[in-house]
Amino acid sequence: MHPVWLLDLDNTLHDASAVVFPRINRAMTDFVIERLGMPEQQANELRQFYWQRYGATMLGLVRHHAIDAHDFLRATHRFPDIHRLVRRDQRLVHALRRLPGRKVVVTNAPASYARAVIKALGIGAFLEDVISIEAMHFAGRFQPKPSRPMLRRLAARLRVPSSRCVLVEDSLENLRSAHRVGMRTVHVTGVASGAGKVARKPRSGSDRRVGLQVQSVTHLPRRRPRSVNRNP
Ligand SMILES: [Mg+2]
């Protein structure tokens, strides 16, 4: 049976590290300066602190400063020029067209941004759904990746056991969570600029919680990665 591919977006399907992430970080710092009345250095440190502590700056701002999540997401993901920053990649288009199984994008980014990136990449036709951070709100709060309850709910929503799902990601922390809930995992190592050197040698076995390493989604196997992390 074909797997259900859960595809991360930024630094997995495209390189966000060169322009997109620096702009989002800048916008987040500006947001904190303006809303919390902080000097720039303090705002920058707070942004990074919440990112490290919660996995998303937004969670800290919502929890500790009563910031409206949707306000924050809108203000920090303004990319009217996204089609110039993210280009259609014909190899990616072919790879997703050929890849058997359902494909769902799962991203901690907001829906409007995710849809714009997917459109610019020209891959919307191959995707069953796009799960954005807005859809990761339950039990009264946002629970984005690497939340294990969220991953379990996601498999249930897709009506498949976790073991049928393969999370394809650049973030090891997110992959470890997926492994803990019984999903297969693929670590994408070569998409972000400057990651190529790390990716050249596959380090299979260096982290047993990661099932497979590939440089790019264009190198995904057609079948489920071997069951190194399959739950009995
Ligand atoms: Mg990513």
Same domain, 109 and 166: yes
**CATH code for the domain in which residue 9 is found:** 3.40.50.1000
Predicted local distance difference test score (pLDDT) of residue 200:
40
Residue 92's φ and ψ, nearest 5 degrees, are: -65, -45
Q: How far is the CA of 107 from the centre of ligand 1 (A)?
A: 7
> Across residues 125-144, what is the average pLDDT?
96
Q: For 58-69, give the DSSP string.
A: HHHHHHHH---H
Helix runs in 88-225, H state only: 90-98, 111-121, 148-157, 172-180, 196-199
Percent of the residues in the chain that have a pLDDT greater than 70, as a whole number: 89
Per-residue pLDDT tens digits for 163-207: 999 999 999 999 999 999 999 999 999 888 765 444 344 444 456
Last residue of a domain, one of 36, 51, 76: 76
Give the range of the structural domain holding residue 157, as residue numbers without chain letter.
4-15+85-229
Using the mean position of ligand 1's atoms as its centre, give its distance from the Cα of residue 10 in Å: 4
Q: Are residues 25 and 8 in the same domain?
A: no
CB-count exposure of residue 91 (10 Å: 0-12, 13-18, 19+): exposed
Domain tally for the chain?
A: 2
Ligand 1 centre to CA of 158 (Å) is 21
- Of 57, 76, 95, the residue that ends a domain is 76
What residues have CB less than 8 Å from 113, skipping those under 6 apart? 73, 77, 79, 82
| Residues 50 and 11 both lie in one domain | no
Residues above pLDDT 90, as percent of the chain: 77
Question: How many of the other CB atoms lie within 10 Å of CB of 66?
Answer: 7
**Near ion ligand 1, which residues have CB within 5 Å?**
8, 10-11, 170
The model's pLDDT over 65-122, given as tens digits with 9 standing for 90+, comes to 999 999 999 999 999 999 999 988 899 999 999 999 999 999 999 999 999 999 999 9
Same-domain status, 114 and 51: no
What is the Å distance from ligand 1's center to 12 Cα?
6
Neighbour-count burial of 35, counting CB atoms closer than 10 A to its CB (0-12 exposed, 13-18 middle, 19+ buried): middle
Same domain as 112, residue 67: no
Backbone phi and psi for residue 105, each to the nearest 5 degrees, phi listed first: -85, 130
Alpha helix (H) ranges present in the chain? 20-36, 40-54, 57-65, 69-76, 82-85, 90-98, 111-121, 148-157, 172-180, 196-199
Residues 52 and 121 in one domain: no
Amino acid at 179: H
98 and 64 together in one domain: no
Task: Say if residues 51 and 57 touch (Cβ distance below 8 Å).
Answer: yes
